[in-house]
Amino acid sequence: NAGVMQNPRHLVRRRGQEARLRCSPMKGHSHVYWYRQLPEEGLKFMVYLQKENIIDESGMPKERFSAEFPKEGPSILRIQQVVRGDSAAYFCASSPQGTHHGYTFGSGTRLTVV
């Protein structure tokens, strides 16, 4: 039973390029969450999605960031026109529907903007 799969593990982008981060939840999990961890800082919630729906995007920056979780395929976090301040580790987590148990996190994507 594979865990939460994130790819790529490391991503280098030049300023102004687009970054696409992918997350495949655990089998049977229908809830996906994205978190960001800036260097030397704690994890911050970004967005919570269910299949084809954004449930809570209160932690997403207002511009350049978007997320989706299509009916088929992984969840995608998209960052347009990246800037140096976007350099961070981005973690995805998943959980089954209707549970208050713990989330399963992926190993993260480390984005470096040069």
Partner 1 sequence: DAKTTQPNSMESNEEEPVHLPCNHSTISGTDYIHWYRQLPSQGPEYVIHGLTSNVNNRMASLAIAEDRKSSTLILHRATLRDAAVYYCILRDVGNEKLTFGTGTRLTIIP
Site map (CB under 8 A) of partner 1, residues 61-90, x = contact: ------------------------------
Site map (CB under 8 A) of partner 1, residues 7-46, x = contact: ------------------------x-x-x------xxxx-
Nearest to 92 by CA among 21, 28, 20: 21
**Following CA atoms 31, 72, 18, 37 in sequence, which dihedral angle do they give, to the nearest 10 degrees?**
20
- Binder of partner 1 out of 7, 66, 87, 107 (CB under 8 A): 107
Distances (CA, A) of 9 to 38, 45, 99, 106: 16, 19, 28, 10
In eight-state DSSP terms, residue 98 is T
Question: Rule CB under 8 A: which residues touch partner 1?
Answer: 4, 31, 33, 35, 42-45, 48, 55-56, 59, 91, 93, 100-108
